Amino acid sequence: MSQPPILTVSQLTRQIKDAVEGSFPLAWVVGEITNCTRAGSGHVYLTLKDDAAQIRAVVWRNTAARLRFDLHDGLEVVAAGPVEVYEARGTYQLIIEQLMPQGMGALELAFRQLCERLKAEGLFAPERKRPIPRFPRRIALITSPTGAAVRDMLQVITRRWSAAELVIVPVAVQGEGAAAQIAAALRAVHRLPRVDVVITGRGGGSLEDLWAFNEELVARAIFDCKVPVVSAVGHEIDVTVADLVADVRALTPSEAAELVVPHHDAIRTELSRIRQHLAQALVSRAAAARARLEALATHRVLTKPTERLHDLSRQIDEIEIRANRAIRQRLKQIREQLAANGGRLDALSPLKVLERGYSVTRLAASAEVVRSTGQAKPGDLLETLLQSGRLTSRVEIPPKHA
């Protein structure tokens, strides 16, 4: 029995590589994603597993850029591509060239993932949505200039409110580059003079046809638009990310046109109602004013305007009489009090003492009353006050002290 050839590791690996890659030029694999990593180069490395086994896989950058949905651990997918052997490590991996979520379409999954992310950021929040003006002066239509949607909107707007000016901003609404055109128009529309509201949308179609309005680029452009945006994409059953971000969602382009402008007949009716209301209010105000005027005309102040003046004059006279009486009474009391006080003071007056035969002697120099002999010295002049007149004397003999 001959000995089999001895192979180097490289030779064996190359044979395995040829065998594996030749047997699996395109393999379809279903499994759950785990260990998903996106490298700085843009390549995505992951592992597909089931309950019993796992296989490494890679999504090259160009393929990953075309994916509509995000890859993450736990996502069930169906992957397709060749199986390659990495000789340097002696491992094999699936080169994923096609990838779709298990149980739903790729676009549906991408739609759900984007909605969840934008909702978490607050782009769908009702409190940030702006009201559209009731009487817009100029309306910008960001849509295809050749589609049925723009014709419907033009007909409805011009029929309902011919005063509004319309500006068509032509963009592609499906296909490659449509999302970029729509987003660019939304970001630049505020530069158009006097634009009060924007309608962006298109007619109905498949999910693929409407996909431009599900792109994150368009959603953020609507959010950043400086003019209120009405989204009108597809038909009633179609809901896009643009509908959820826009300030107002219209079920159809025709409904969008009805929402942004009033109907002239409705305005005429409302104006007529307001006019009638104002007329009735004026009649009511005039009647109320007339009734009040009549009531005032019968008021005593107007029928007898001088009566109040006479009453006040009488009151003033009465006050004057009472004041004079009080003054006279007070003066009488004061006079009586002064007379009584004068009598008491007169009784205490030294002149009364002199009238009874007494006299008062005092030193002429100081007018000090002499009460004892010790106050006078020889040579002092004395002044004696009598009832009538005074006497002046000089002390010649020293007084004898008692």
Query: Distance between CA 287 and CA 189 in Å, rounded?
Result: 54
Task: Provide the token pair at 25.
Answer: 């030029």
Q: How many CA atoms lie less than 13 Å away from 364 in the CB half-sphere?
A: 13
Contact at 8 Å (CB) between 203 and 169?
no
Contact at 8 Å (CB) between 377 and 366?
no
β-strands 381-385, 360-363: how paired? Answer: antiparallel
Query: Distance between CA 304 and CA 14 in Å, rounded?
Result: 128
Degrees, nearest 5: CA angle 289-291-295: 115
Q: DSSP letters along 209-253, please?
A: TTGGGGSHHHHHHHHH-SS-EEEEESSTT---HHHHHSSEE-SSH
Contact at 8 Å (CB) between 225 and 196?
no
Q: DSSP letters along 336-387, please?
A: HHHHHHHHHHHHT-HHHHHHTT--EEEETTT-PBP-SGGG--TT-EEEEE-S
Residues in the chain: 402
β-strands 138-143, 390-394: how paired? Answer: unpaired
pLDDT per residue, tens digit, the chain (402 aa), is 577 788 888 888 888 888 888 888 888 988 888 999 999 999 999 999 988 899 999 999 999 988 888 888 888 888 899 999 988 888 899 999 988 888 666 777 788 888 989 999 999 999 999 999 999 999 999 999 998 999 999 999 999 998 899 999 999 999 989 999 999 999 999 999 999 999 999 988 888 889 999 999 999 999 999 999 999 998 777 789 999 999 999 999 999 999 999 998 888 889 899 999 999 999 999 999 988 888 877 777 667 777 778 888 889 988 999 999 999 999 999 998 998 887 777 766 666 666 666 778 888 888 888 888 878 888 888 888 887 888 888 888 766 654
Task: Provide the token pair at 117.
Answer: 């992310």
* CA separation, residue 16 to residues 58, 85, 93, 276, 377 (Å): 20, 8, 13, 94, 166
Q: What is the pLDDT of residue 402?
A: 46
Q: What is the pLDDT of residue 397?
A: 76
Query: Distance between CA 131 and CA 196 in Å, rounded?
Result: 11
Q: What is the pLDDT of residue 223?
A: 96
- Torsion, Cα 296 301 304 307, to 10 degrees, reads 170
Query: pTM of the predicted model, to two decimals?
Result: 0.54
Q: What is the pLDDT of residue 400?
A: 64
Query: Distance between CA 47 and CA 90 in Å, rounded?
Result: 17
The phi and psi torsions of 341 (rounded to 5 degrees) equal -65, -35
Query: Distance between CA 153 and CA 136 in Å, rounded?
Result: 15
The helix/strand/coil state of 126 is helix
Set out the domains of the chain in order of their start, with CATH numbers: 9-103 (2.40.50.140), 111-262 (3.40.50.261), 354-394 (no CATH)
Query: Distance between CA 200 and CA 173 in Å, rounded?
Result: 10
Q: What is the pLDDT of residue 157?
A: 94
The helix/strand/coil state of 61 is helix
Q: What is the pLDDT of residue 256?
A: 95
Q: What is the pLDDT of residue 165?
A: 94
Q: Return the exposure string of 301-319: e unless at least 16 CB atoms fall within 10 Å of the residue's CB, then b.
A: eeeeeeeeeeeeeeeeeee
Long-range contacts of 242-245 (CB under 8 A, 24+ apart): 242/200, 242/201, 242/213, 242/214, 242/218, 243/213, 244/115, 244/118, 244/119, 244/123, 244/124, 244/219, 245/118, 245/123, 245/124, 245/219
